[in-house]
Amino acid sequence: MDEDESKIERLSRLEVPFFEPGLPEIVGRNVHEGRLRFSRDLPKAVKGSKVVFITVGTPPLRDGSADTRAIFAVARVVAQQLDGYTLVVQKSTAPVGTARAVWRTMKRWARRSSQFDVASNPEFLREGAAIETFMHPDRIVIGAETARAAEILKSIHDPLFLNETPMVVTTLETAELIKYAANSFLATKISFINEIANLCEAVDADVQVVAKAIGMDRRIGPKFLHAGPGYGGSCFPKDTMALASFARAAGLRTRVVEATIAANEHQEQRMVGKIIQAIGAPRGKRVGILGLAFKPDTDDLREAPSLKIIAGLRRKGVKVIAFDPVAMPGARELPTLRGVAFGDDAYEAARGADALAIVTEWNEFRNMNLRRLRKLMRKPVLCDLRNIYDPAEVEAAGLRYVGVGRGRPRGSRRSTRSSG
């Protein structure tokens, strides 16, 4: 159920309103087999349901805290519709204490005779890999305070236990905090490796090798150690800010998470500096931007590093021509991108450019014809902000290579051989 009429209309025509690989097929199959329907009618959706999942948006407010109003608006209507025992599962990412507050709201609006429980069941899906991360989760977290609620949630996830998915059953507050702690830790890993990348540039070391080697330590692990333009998306930026915000409200500062946020903002601006350095005096220069979505396999532009990088370049008088395989329809609608030109492919974005910057590591950017790019560009410079190319290969094709944390630019390296 969603109150957005156009979303429901599109879903009813089996059109998924965002890009997620494999999802249209699953939606289609389940609709055809009678397991899935779409509606704008909340009371109707709730009536007769044994379990109700609340999965609304919790966008950040100006002060960084999460806006949870939609959760409580839904909880109230759900409470008024209760009919027999119902389990209400608060799945939206919301500050610690929200599930308990939902219970209180429902208690206020429900009939005296209504029977219900509220549980927390945070989700750990990754956009672009939503189906895979749903079907093969690392763990399921259930915050439930009655055996009945815990049992229902367990049985819903039963098929996944065939894969022996571990399950953590805990209190509402602990479950809610697990979600924020997981995202904040992952964001911290990224800010950490980005900082090491910047240090690599200063001392002529290679972050790719550093990340690989530290990742071999099983206590550290190899994942989420890719240096780049900073993390974006609808989760990490919002959830780190919300954690810092509800920690402050609890009288505590989370200094590591605050530093993660600051380092991420710095990283995006550093990328602007990197590109400007590559093109020289910026006014009137032209930069091609490859990739707008915050990561590959999604059309999501929320908090995408590309947007901050483009804004930073344009402030310096740089002309931008961008290309993204799926995010361009959404990008064309964004007021902040008004005046940005869009190309039909990577080569069009490169035509006449003084530098080409890879901002999102879409697969199709991994195997470009470098010689063709070189011929199209005014100045052949590839700013590989995702480190997807081998610098030697790019330079062999006649382009200058600029990566993230891959040592000093060629020519300025110190030699270990003595000159005498």
Point out which residues bind ligand UGA (CB under 6 A). Answer: 93, 123-127, 183, 186, 190, 224-226, 228, 231-233, 235-236, 294-295
**404 close to 225: Cβ distance less than 8 angstroms:** no
Q: How many residues does the chain have?
A: 420
Q: Give least dist CB 275 to ligand UGA, A.
A: 17
Q: Give least dist CB 295 to ligand UGA, A.
A: 4
Q: Give least dist CB 345 to ligand UGA, A.
A: 22
The crossing angle, in degrees rounded to 10, of helices 207-215 and 172-203 is 140
Selecting among 172, 178, 197, 235, the annotated active-site residue is 235
Q: Which is nearer to ligand UGA, 222 or 352 (CB)?
A: 222
Radius of gyration in angstroms for the set of CA atoms belonging to the chain, rounded to a whole number: 24
Give the pair of three-digit tokens for residue 318: 């740089």
What residues pair up with 51 in beta bridges, in sequence order?
Answer: 87
Hey, what amino acid is at 168?
V
Q: Give least dist CB 203 to ligand UGA, A.
A: 21
Q: Which is nearer to ligand UGA, 149 or 235 (CB)?
A: 235
Instruction: Note if 235 is an active site residue.
Output: yes
User: How many CB atoms within 10 Å of residue 219?
Assistant: 5
**119 close to 142: Cβ distance less than 8 angstroms:** yes
Q: Which is nearer to ligand UGA, 231 or 389 (CB)?
A: 231
Q: Give least dist CB 236 to ligand UGA, A.
A: 5
Which candidate, 109, 38, 46, places its Cα nearest to that of 83? 46
DSSP per-residue string spanning 66-115:
B--HHHHHHHHHHHHH--SSEEEEE-S---TTHHHHHHHHHHHHS-TT--
Q: Which is nearer to ligand UGA, 123 or 173 (CB)?
A: 123
**67 close to 59: Cβ distance less than 8 angstroms:** yes
Q: Which is nearer to ligand UGA, 109 or 185 (CB)?
A: 185
Q: Which is nearer to ligand UGA, 127 or 354 (CB)?
A: 127
**299 close to 127: Cβ distance less than 8 angstroms:** no
Q: Which is nearer to ligand UGA, 190 or 370 (CB)?
A: 190
Q: Give least dist CB 271 to ligand UGA, A.
A: 11
Q: Report, in this order, helix, strand and coil percent for the chain, each rounded to 5.
A: 45, 10, 45
Which candidate, 175, 7, 215, places its Cα nearest to that of 92? 175
Distance CA 227, CA 208 (A): 8
Distance CA 42, CA 147 (A): 27
Hey, what amino acid is at 261?
I
Q: Give least dist CB 372 to ligand UGA, A.
A: 27
φ, ψ for residue 334 (rounded to 5)?
-80, 125
141 membership: H or E segment, kind and range: strand 140-143
Residues that are catalytic: 235
